[in-house]
Structure 1
Amino acid sequence: MNQTRKVRIATRGSQLALWQANHVSSLLQARGLNTELNIIKTTGDRVQDRFLHEIGGKGLFVRELEEAMKGGTADIAVHSLKDLPARIPAGFQLAAILPRHIPQDALIFNPKSLARLKVPEQKFLSKADLKNMGPMTIATASLRRQSLLKGLGPQINLVPVRGNVDTRIRKLNEGDWDGLILAGASLERLSLDHLPHRLLADEWYVPCAAQGALTIETPADSPFTKDLAALSDATTYACATMERMILEKLGGDCTMPFGAFFFPDVKKGETIARALVLDYEGQEARYVHTFKGLPDTLDYEASAKTMLDGLKKVGVTDILHALKIKAPILGDLA
């Protein structure tokens, strides 16, 4: 155990980012390490009037944190793993991936719209449930979320939204939107599950790669590697790694409407995997596969290849062409 100095944690200053950093801080303190937070305002936080894919992608939320580690003012950075680019820069490592929170997306309702919408009582909404609720305006900044909703037809009016979780919820309640889509993990972490919401069933609304998982990034030569590795969860690590492998091998980034979700069926000793690539109009290539064995027993590379081969069979080539994305690692797809 390394107790020679404090573990300095680089974090963004949003309510959610601070919860995540403080969560990791408490875990490290329980292991006998002292910690302090280094709050950094990133480019992604400063630019709020455009979509992420228009200003450089999810990497805008992490570059300044990595610069703090390079410059010696921070030892680790805590991220939502879904916000990290598929490829980690040279000189850095993911020292731990923590147990996954809620992986599904949540549709939060404007209280003023509840009387008009036919919102089912069950926890998870299917595609049919959403169609039956009637015309509505939904806010989201994610290309994946937008494209999945476009597949429901013109009854769904989509509007863009940026800002922190509390800002988005305030805009929902003060405006004329009927709903707002956020990661379900955000509601879980911030104790906001009292808000009127339903989760979107992952059978059709496939989450983005590693959604719900927190990770700790460090320099490759970090003296805290062993302490951090002890916080890692084997199942989440396996699932998130395979999900991100698929995205990387497709040549994708935040400009690709992409979903991947691996999860264990412990009773059967199996892993169910879903992968999805959409174009910007809601056309999709979707593949589902059941692997024998739980996630941490699988061959990551082989499992990712199985999903990529499956996507190829269901037409991902055409979707990639529509997205104007080249996939050099899968040369015969492009």
Structure 2
Amino acid sequence: MNKIIRIGTRDSELALWQANTVSKQLNKLGYKTEIIAVKADGDIILDKPLYELGITGIFTKTLDVAMIAGKVDIAVHSMKDVPTALPQSIVQAAVLKRGNVHDILVHKGSTDFLETNGTIASGSLRRKAQWLNKYPNHKVEDLRGNVNTRLQKLKDNSWNAAIFAAAGLERINLKPTEFINLDWMIPAPAQGAMMIVAMENDNYVLDAVAQLNDIETEICTHIERQFLRTLEGGCTAPIGALAIYNEEEDTIVFKGNLLSIDGKQKFEIEKNVPINEWKKLGFFAAKEILENGGEQLMKELRSQLKK
């Protein structure tokens, strides 16, 4: 078969970079590809915080519909944007080797505001909560849009700084010189990873894309998304998770947290387990948080986010 694999993507610079990366890798393996860009609701509606839009799948639904309708064969996503429950008939086909997992603080000039009062911008509940937990005197403003739009908004406003995923800025060569690595901030589950989804019955495409899968990234992101899924139960909440494979000891090091939106409550967990215990690590870590006070916080978050 000499089928052209149609790659669906959002039309932002970063999303197109991701789609082109997948296209080039498939081309090297001898497959023909075509990139089809669409605009997702999450890119169009920029005047509301994500959680008010029913954030789950806001960046992926348009491509899901296109795939089910037979307009594209695969879709490439930033994995952290993909709901933990995929639509019926759509499956995770591959996870590419992970990039930088961390968040960075892009600032303008002096960082004196870190010692006093400051205004930080971010559209992420997770980033907002972790920031306010560490800097309770600061204010966090909502910031929406693709990477380019958010960088421009930072320049145009009086905010001191804004928080970005390092991987996104690095991939399209927009990482500025004035930034701080936020290595204390636990990233979003699967941050820095790219996921390819496809139709479950498309064996030609599934066989092609499977060759791009990175097993270490697949395992670590599985743990993080399992932690997220067990905690949230369909609700968007300030949740961070990071699993790292320690090759020397053949173990998985996992860190996860759950916070209130104002950052005043924080539940966190850290585990170091043998690699053969990875399959349920995220589940057990989440259950431990829920049993130690996290369940009540999740009830409160569900109530707050429905308003």
Task: Give the shorter-chain TM-score range.
Answer: over 0.9
Aligned equivalents of 1:277, 1:88: Cα separation in 2: 23
Report the counterpart of residue 291 of structure 1 in structure 2.
273
Deviation of 1:284 after TM superposition, in Å, equals: 1.1
More divergent stretch after superposition (210-219 vs 258-267): 258-267
Of all paired residues, the percent bearing the same amino acid is 33
5 Å matches for 1:241-252?
A: 241-252=222-233
Q: Any idea what SS the aligned residue of 2:58 has?
A: helix
Report the counterpart of residue 19 of structure 1 in structure 2.
17
1:256 aligns with 2:237: yes
Report the counterpart of residue 185 of structure 2 in structure 1.
205
8 Å CA contact retained: 2:56, 2:236? no
The one of 34, 40, 45 aligned to 2:32: 34
Aligned equivalents of 1:230, 1:249: Cα separation in 2: 29
Shift of the 323–194 alpha-carbon distance from structure 1 to 2, 3 Å rule, reads closer
Report the counterpart of residue 255 of structure 2 in structure 1.
274
Q: Give TM-score scaled by structure 1 length.
A: 0.86
Aligned equivalents of 1:153, 1:162: Cα separation in 2: 22
1:311 aligns with 2:295: no
Deviation of 1:269 after TM superposition, in Å, equals: 2.1
Aligned equivalents of 2:135, 2:95: Cα separation in 1: 37
Amino acid at match of 2:78: S
Aligned equivalents of 1:137, 1:25: Cα separation in 2: 40
Amino acid at match of 1:306: F
Report the counterpart of residue 195 of structure 2 in structure 1.
215
- How far does the alpha carbon of each residue in 1:226-265 deviate from its partner, in whole angstroms, 9 at most, with x for none? 1111101111000101111111122344621111110012
Amino acid at match of 1:64: T
Shift of the 279–213 alpha-carbon distance from structure 1 to 2, 3 Å rule, reads same
Report the counterpart of residue 55 of structure 1 in structure 2.
53
Q: Any idea what SS the aligned residue of 1:273 has?
A: strand
Report the counterpart of residue 89 of structure 1 in structure 2.
87
Aligned equivalents of 2:75, 2:225: Cα separation in 1: 19
Q: Any idea what SS the aligned residue of 2:8 has?
A: strand
The one of 69, 73, 76 aligned to 1:75: 73
Deviation of 1:281 after TM superposition, in Å, equals: 1.6
8 Å CA contact retained: 2:231, 2:290? no
8 Å CA contact retained: 2:49, 2:144? yes
- How far does the alpha carbon of each residue in 1:201-236 deviate from its partner, in whole angstroms, 9 at most, with x for none? 1xx411111111001010101221111111011110
Amino acid at match of 1:256: A
Deviation of 1:192 after TM superposition, in Å, equals: 2.1
5 Å matches for 1:224-239?
A: 224-239=205-220
Q: Give TM-score scaled by structure 2 length.
A: 0.93
Q: Any idea what SS the aligned residue of 1:170 has?
A: helix
Deviation of 1:314 after TM superposition, in Å, equals: 3.9
Amino acid at match of 1:218: A
1:163 aligns with 2:142: no
More divergent stretch after superposition (221-230 vs 186-195): 186-195
Matched residue count: 301
8 Å CA contact retained: 1:287, 1:314? no
- How far does the alpha carbon of each residue in 1:268-322 deviate from its partner, in whole angstroms, 9 at most, with x for none? 22211011111112111101111123xxx44412x12331243135421232232
The one of 258, 281, 300 aligned to 2:279: 300
Q: Any idea what SS the aligned residue of 2:191 has?
A: coil
Structure 1 unaligned spans of 5+: 119-129, 326-334
Alignment root-mean-square deviation, CA: 1.7
Report the counterpart of residue 156 of structure 2 in structure 1.
174
Q: Any idea what SS the aligned residue of 1:227 has?
A: helix
The one of 143, 168, 171 aligned to 2:125: 143
Aligned equivalents of 2:192, 2:234: Cα separation in 1: 18
